[in-house]
Amino acid sequence: MRKIHDVILAHEEDRGETFLGSLWGKNPVFLCAIGTTETAKIPGISAAGRYPDLTDYTPPADVELLLLGRCKCIPGVPVTPEGIPTPALITMSALRLADIPALVVSGGLNVNPHVPFLDLGGAPGRDIREGRAVDNVEEVLGRARIVGENLAKIADYLVVGESIPGGTTTALGVMLAMGVDAGGKVSSSMPDNPHELKIETVKAGMKVSGVEFGSLAENPVEAVSCVGDPMVPAFAGVTLGAAREVPVLMAGGTQIGAVLAVVEALDRDVLCNVAIGTTRWIVSDKTADLKGIIAQIADVPILAADLDFSQSRLEGLRAYEAGVVKEGVGAGGAAIAAMAKSEGAITKEILLGEIERNYELLVGSQ
């Protein structure tokens, strides 16, 4: 795989190089799409909170970190059960280094953040095993589209990230309903990826909703409504609204497959303006297959920030090399945007230094 500065061209390399070139030296806006789903509270599904009910606090805490530099709704920062900190630390460090503005869009939350967020008229998601997991999908999509359209008038491009615990499971739901064979291919924030539990959860949701593999390929709104989560329409709507005018770097791991499938089904003409931005940990994840997911949906490039924490002096960061966390809150895309905005002046080493500094400030002081 070719590299340009510290960005790996992980898929559709030539298009990826052109796309990265179009971001070089330009001014983006970072948008974080958040939501919650009761699906995250199924034991074993998510590592995003130490206790199931804490998953409600992860998305608001993540965006507080981005906008305030610290969390307000919880002490410290969100951590995995092993104490490994949220990837929002990477995102926040990248945005600060490159002075990139950030906004938050909410698809539906149980707990609101103590920072400004764009309300899209959504509601928190239910456990997909019950079916009808998400309300107001069409409305959230439409309002998010307005946000994307307006930001595209002022930003050179958008970077869109997400935070929703349990999101790889609901993403699997959307993808299977839409005919993307993602079973066994989605990533996990835990080193032991609970594929069987995720598939079983999704199958239960599909059964109760009367959905079969691919039966909603042409109906993404219904796919999200039945077995998805409220982050997906927020993320997809922003992308649909912006990508008609400016490039959109869709930042995240395998979850982005669900968002991309929705975007592709609603307006495939915008895909020429879209790339996936992720981390090296995702593209080298042996327990998942981002490329195998994306290639089923569309010919969009995958760019991966070549982050390497193996030499970090902080154990909590070295854990990323063991396959914990890997990605989230648009960490990879934000890192790529910081590198691109600074025309390569922000290297992965400089970024790691900033992440370590923020880690010690925020986690070391707990």
Enumerate binding residues for its own copies (CB under 8 A).
27, 29, 67-68, 99-103, 105, 112, 114-121, 139, 143-144, 146-147, 150-155
Q: How far is the CB of 153 from its own copies (least distance, A)?
A: 4
Q: Are 65 and 73 in contact (CB under 8 A)?
A: no
Q: CB nearer to its own copies: give 94 or 202.
A: 94
Q: How far is the CB of 237 from its own copies (least distance, A)?
A: 9
Q: CB nearer to its own copies: give 116 or 364.
A: 116
Q: Are 59 and 344 in contact (CB under 8 A)?
A: no
Q: CB nearer to its own copies: give 101 or 184.
A: 101
Q: How far is the CB of 116 from its own copies (least distance, A)?
A: 5
Both tokens assigned to 198:
């995720």
Single-letter amino acid, residue 225:
S
Residue-by-residue DSSP string for 212-246: -TTTTTT-HHHHHHHH--THHHHHHHHHHHHTTTS
Q: CB nearer to its own copies: give 293 or 340.
A: 340
Q: How far is the CB of 271 from its own copies (least distance, A)?
A: 23
The 3-4 sheet, strands edge to edge: 3-4, 7-11, 302-305, 274-279, 248-251, 157-163, 28-35, 102-108
Q: CB nearer to its own copies: give 243 or 307.
A: 243
Residue linked to tokens 């291919």:
185
Q: How far is the CB of 32 from its own copies (least distance, A)?
A: 12
Element (H, E) at 315: helix 315-318
Beta-carbon neighbour count of residue 14 at 10 Å? 10
